[in-house]
Amino acid sequence: MNDNEVNGQSGNADPAQGASVKQAPKQNGGKTLPEPYEKTTWHSTTVDGRELRYQATVGTITIDTPKVKPAASIFFTAFNLADDEGHVDGTRPVTFIFNGGPGSSTTFLLMGSVAPKRIDVPDAAPVPAAPYRLTDNPYTLLPSSDLVFIDAAGAGFSEILDAAKPELWSVDGDVAGFSAFIRAYLSKYHRWNSPKYVLGESYGTTRGAALAYRLQQDGVALNGLVLISNILDYAFVLDTSDQFYIGYFPTFASVAKYHGKAANDVETAAHLQAARAFANGPLRQALAAGASLDDDTKWKVAERYAELTGLDARYVYDSDLRVVDMRFRKALLRDEGRIVGRYDGRVAGYDLDRMNDEETFVVDDAFLDPAYSSLCNAYLRDELGWDRVPERRGFADFDWNATEPGKGWTWWHEQPGMTKSAWGSKIPFPNVVPDLAAAIAHQPTLKVLIGNGIYDLCTPFFQTEYDIDHLGLPKPLQSHVAFTYYPAGHMLYSAETSLAKFSDDLQRFYSTDADGLSTLNERPALPAPQIAL
């Protein structure tokens, strides 16, 4: 339903009235940013038998960096619950939501998760070409919180000046930019006294954990932080680390069971517990032994590995017990000529070179990206009224292989309280576990929800469990972090049954305080490790 529309250029007008004050284009180095602009439309939806009337605002806010002012035009899509007179309650919770990448637009979360509408596509299966269907979303978070979806600088409809790319296209610059946007939004729309939440996915969890701490330094205390499909320490994305293989293993086991290659007579929860115990026990010890591991023990470990994952024991043995994720996805269904999806291990498709260790395409991404991108453009332009140029970009156009600042992504990160080292005051890859720990310790009322898809072969849940176990929090604060799990992949909301659970978990999360968060925690306990002295 779309029964009223207000539009205009930016100023300090209330969003219910639309913006009205024109500003001159922002210039820097001969290039220009577009004028800040917004458009507000009115809609209604029905959730649990209750009609909700809400505003949808699409617009941009200009942010600065220390060296470039202005630096970027950040696009957002906001949904605010309103009363019959059109008033927005400034004391309602507001949640800032973003995808990751880095450098990604927030297309998938906007179109698939907790907005008032969502895409309707087949789950874990090929998606036909257009037309696609947009439906009212009965699982929207709008009854619990107003929602603000944010495109990263240079992605989606957000634009960035070349001079600002060395700052904003970096781990710490990106976090500073999101902090700047959030604070500007709070000021423009009078939301400083609202309860504030952040929801990030994938690299958005890297950003989200660091952002929670950065916002505290910038004068904003979050009420809650939701991190889904987590990657908090990039040290373990390298296959030179034993933890890389340990962190992936239980997800290998869950995907194998889904495809009928392992544990056909065991419940999924029990199978995952067995996989956790094996990964954290025999596999960890065998990998730590390295070349000193005797051949008989190595073969026994390979056999148990194969039993839990559906792989051939000889293949595991010949891989030195170290099967990288891409090889697992190629090997599991090789006898069927199919490859398993990276983002969702339930998905399987045909690869053009079935014997090669490397995939020719990411099957699940190929299924979903055209549908989400096409319908997002249609929704934002045709229903919410965005009529600016240029066209929407799924990702910022930096070069993944470039090392020059402003051409690629700068991975260096300065952790809280970090002292000088051989690397200076930064580490050459993001590890935001200390940032998250500092945010919780500095604000003991902060509550954190960690969401995990058990078929996610991009950001495996067992690695996240390991990272959270190494926060180093005092015992009274450890229960302020809760785990939830979903029978889905990286985009845990893509399956409707999973989204329904996610919506219910979020409503419970928003309605409880940090001390009561343990009632949401679904993480199973493992037997205490036996440490011989």
pLDDT at 218: 98
pLDDT at 508: 97
Structural element, H or E, at residue 98: strand 94-98
What b/e readout covers 333-347, taking b as 16+ CB neighbours within 10 angstroms?
Answer: bbeeebbbbbbbbbb
pLDDT at 291: 95
User: Which amino acid, residue 97?
Assistant: I
**What are the residues whose beta carbons fall under 8 Å from the beta carbon of 57, sequence distance 6 or more?**
15, 38, 39, 40, 76, 77, 78, 79, 80
Query: In sequence order, what DSSP letters do the residues of 177-200 get, joined into one string?
Result: HHHHHHHHHHHHTT-TTS-EEEEE
Please state the three-class secondary structure of 35-77 as a single string.
CCEEEEEEEEEEECCEEEEEEEEEEEEEECCCCCCCCEEEEEE
Which two tokens mark 195? 């309860």
User: Alpha-carbon distance 201 to 230, whole Å?
Assistant: 7
User: Alpha-carbon distance 183 to 18, whole Å?
Assistant: 20
| Residues 185, 191, 192, 197, CA torsion sign | negative
Classified as helix, coil or strand, 166 is helix
User: Alpha-carbon distance 47 to 134, whole Å?
Assistant: 16
User: Alpha-carbon distance 157 to 16, whole Å?
Assistant: 22
User: Alpha-carbon distance 489 to 459, whole Å?
Assistant: 9
pLDDT at 403: 84
pLDDT string in tens for the chain (533-residue length):
444 444 443 333 333 333 333 344 555 555 789 999 999 999 999 999 999 999 999 999 999 999 999 999 999 999 999 887 778 898 999 999 999 999 999 999 999 999 999 999 888 777 888 899 999 999 999 999 999 999 999 999 999 999 999 999 999 999 999 999 999 999 999 999 999 999 999 999 999 999 999 999 999 999 999 999 999 999 888 788 999 999 999 999 999 999 999 999 999 999 999 999 999 999 999 999 999 999 999 999 999 999 999 999 999 999 999 999 999 999 999 989 889 999 999 999 887 776 777 766 677 777 888 999 999 999 999 999 999 989 999 999 999 888 888 999 999 999 998 755 555 667 788 999 999 999 999 999 999 999 999 999 999 999 999 999 999 999 999 999 999 999 999 999 998 999 999 999 999 999 999 999 999 999 998 877 777 77
**Contacts made by residues 255-258, CB under 8 angstroms, sequence distance 24+:** 255/328, 255/332, 255/340, 255/345, 255/346, 255/455, 255/457, 256/308, 256/309, 256/310, 256/311, 256/332, 258/345, 258/346, 258/455
Structural element, H or E, at residue 201: strand 196-202
User: Alpha-carbon distance 104 to 396, whole Å?
Assistant: 6
User: Alpha-carbon distance 185 to 195, whole Å?
Assistant: 14
**CA nearest neighbour of 202 among 227, 229, 169, 225:** 229
pLDDT at 141: 98
Query: In sequence order, what DSSP letters do the residues of 211-251 get, joined into one string?
Result: HHHHHHHTT---SEEEEEEE--BGGGGSTTSHHHHHHHHHH
**What are the residues whose beta carbons fall under 8 Å from the beta carbon of 412, sequence distance 6 or more?**
170, 171, 172, 423, 426, 427, 428, 429
Structural element, H or E, at residue 79: strand 72-81
Contact of 354 with 337, CB cutoff 8 Å? yes
Pairing of strands 196-202, 224-230: parallel
Contact of 64 with 134, CB cutoff 8 Å? no
Contact of 409 with 170, CB cutoff 8 Å? yes
pLDDT at 286: 98
Q: What is the pTM of this model?
A: 0.92
User: Alpha-carbon distance 348 to 365, whole Å?
Assistant: 11
Q: What are phi and psi of 417, to 5 degrees?
A: 65, 20
**Pure H helices in 407-469:** 433-442, 461-469
Q: Is the peptide bond before 476 cis (omega within 30 degrees of 0)?
A: no
**CA nearest neighbour of 156 among 76, 96, 229, 102:** 76
